[in-house]
């Protein structure tokens, strides 16, 4: 008699399908390429949306609200009576999903199990519990930890060790340099190695198998981020873990690939038919430090020109909305606790810049400034990306913002060494008080009336 088994199939990024005993559940369902606007599947795939519309899931679990994990355009392909379990502290997301027509939408609570047929799924606390969660998945006597995008603190690690033994861990294998690429002239090149705490945590968890999970994407084919954003290769991940944990088996699951896990083995299983590999699949990341970042003007020329109304929207934001918004933002460091002159450069599709100078006051907001006072902070951004952030919910990850790519006077340079790149005034105004901008933009598109013919 064969051992009870669990099948695990990779969709893309942090997306998986689990099947056991006639029950079928999914996690972080993304059926788009590119997803999150400019995250291109790596390795490349396409999705058969007609087949996906015919899929039935007993439940879908979403680990957090980030748009590469919770996409309304992907959810729109599912039956509206599909039970959705979402970890999110913001009621606005649940409202948006219900507006899309889903009738069974429930909030996950940490350490409170959800029973679905053959499965017991327990959300576990991530280091950033205001945003993320992890999933403990149990079925057929097997125990799988889906870490998703999370980092794990010592308290949660001790809890997870007690929940062992672990048959498989889906581990987020990229560290990603999301902030460093914003100021490449001021960021040191990260070493292409695993964080030391990861090795210790995986030693403590001691799973039989580990899957390099999440972060399964690149940016546009021409993007310099592809050489600077992703320090860790699949090969390096496997090499370091096998050296530190010789008994551990590292298993790469590309999109569509399925395996069958039981108490003694891991076997290949039929792939997902609706995730279609495109081209070479045995690809890997190549990291080149800061990779000679091209000027923002060169990047801006990659994008289509804005229409006249779109350009007007960007200009109105820079001249009116941004100064008004700045007063309600706060910096994490004290760099902006004194008046500063900030220059924002918005570059069009020809690479030409329109520059705005603002005087930033610690208490009084921002106002346009035409004096010749020395600059203390600079920000550059393609106009197309600023419009996308305002109207399409584009995230900071793919906006090609460039911060402080200049040499300031000696006193300013000394003070900048203590400043945080996310104190950037544009970042604060665009993202400081917003939630779910990407999903809200999706919802507007999905609920818009069909154009009359």
10-residue mean pLDDT profile of the chain (453 residues): values are 87 97 97 94 97 98 96 98 97 97 98 98 96 97 97 96 98 92 90 92 97 94 95 96 95 98 97 97 93 94 98 97 91 90 98 97 86 94 97 92 95 93 95 86 90 63
* Residue 88: closest CA among 131, 149, 136: 131
**Beta strand pairing call for 258-261 and 340-347:** unpaired
**Beta strand pairing call for 266-269 and 249-250:** unpaired
**Beta strand pairing call for 84-86 and 105-107:** parallel
Name the strand (E) or helix (H) holding 11: strand 6-12
> Which residue, chain included where needed, has tokens 């450069």?
345
Residue 273 has a pLDDT of: 97
DSSP 205-224: H--SEEEEES--EE--TT-T
Q: How far is CA 171 from the centre of its chain?
A: 15
Residue 146 has a pLDDT of: 98
Residue 1 has a pLDDT of: 53
The CATH class that applies to domain 296-447 reads alpha beta
CB of 375 closer than 8 Å to CB of 411 = no
Residue 338, C-beta contacts closer than 8 angstroms, at least 6 positions apart: 362
CATH code matching the domain that covers 6-277, chosen among 3.30.70.920, 1.10.940.10, 3.60.15.10, 2.60.120.10: 3.60.15.10
CB of 257 closer than 8 Å to CB of 196 = no
C-alpha to C-alpha distance for 397 and 400, rounded to whole angstroms: 8
Residue 434 has a pLDDT of: 76
Residue 379 has a pLDDT of: 98
* Residue 91: closest CA among 393, 395, 435: 435
The residues spanned by each domain of the chain are: 6-277, 296-447
CB of 398 closer than 8 Å to CB of 219 = yes
Residue 213 has a pLDDT of: 96
């Amino acid at each position: 008699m064969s051992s009870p088994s669990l099948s695990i199939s990779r969709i893309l990024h942090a997306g998986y399908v689990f099947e056991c005993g006639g029950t079928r559940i999914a996690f972080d369902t993304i059926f788009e390429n590119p997803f999150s606007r400019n995250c291109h599947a790596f390795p490349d795939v396409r999705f058969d949306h007609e087949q996906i519309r015919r899929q039935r899931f007993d439940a879908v679990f979403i680990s957090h609200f980030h748009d590469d994990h919770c996409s309304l355009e992907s959810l729109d392909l599912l039956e509206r009576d599909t039970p959705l379990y979402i970890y999110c502290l913001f009621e606005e997301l649940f409202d948006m999903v219900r507006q899309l027509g889903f009738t069974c939408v429930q909030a996950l609570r940490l350490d409170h199990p959800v029973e679905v047929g053959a499965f017991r799924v327990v959300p576990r606390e991530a280091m950033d519990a205001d945003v993320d969660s992890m999933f403990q998945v149990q079925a057929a006597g097997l125990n799988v930890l889906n870490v998703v995008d999370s980092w794990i603190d010592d308290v949660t690690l001790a809890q997870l060790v007690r929940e062992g033994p672990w048959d498989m861990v889906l581990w987020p294998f990229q560290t990603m340099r999301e902030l460093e690429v914003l100021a490449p002239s001021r960021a040191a090149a990260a070493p292409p190695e695993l964080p030391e705490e990861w090795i210790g945590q995986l030693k403590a968890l001691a799973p039989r198998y580990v899957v390099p999970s999440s972060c399964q994407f690149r940016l546009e084919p021409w993007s310099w981020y592809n050489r600077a954003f992703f320090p860790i290769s699949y090969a390096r991940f496997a090499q370091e873990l096998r050296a530190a944990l010789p008994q551990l088996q590292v298993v790469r699951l590309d999109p569509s690939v399925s395996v069958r896990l039981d108490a003694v083995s891991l076997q290949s299983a039929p792939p997902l038919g609706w995730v279609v590999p495109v081209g070479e699949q045995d690809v890997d990341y190549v990291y080149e430090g800061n990779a000679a970042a091209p000027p923002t003007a060169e990047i801006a020329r990659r994008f289509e020109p804005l229409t006249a109304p779109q350009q007007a929207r960007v200009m109105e934001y820079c001249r009116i909305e941004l100064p008004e918004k700045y007063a309600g933002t706060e910096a994490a460091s004290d760099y902006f606790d004194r008046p500063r002159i900030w220059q924002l450069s918005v570059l069009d599709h020809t690479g030409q810049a329109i520059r705005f100078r603002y005087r930033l006051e610690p208490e009084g907001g921002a106002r346009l400034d035409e004096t010749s006072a020395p600059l203390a902070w600079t920000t550059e951004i393609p106009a197309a990306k600023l419009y996308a952030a305002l109207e399409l919910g584009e995230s900071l990850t793919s906006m090609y913002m460039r911060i402080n790519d200049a040499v300031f006077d000696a006193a300013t340079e000394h003070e900048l060494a203590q400043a945080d790149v996310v104190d950037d005034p544009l970042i604060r105004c665009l993202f400081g008080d917003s939630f779910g901008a990407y999903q809200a933009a999706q919802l507007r598109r999905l609920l818009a009336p069909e154009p009359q013919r």
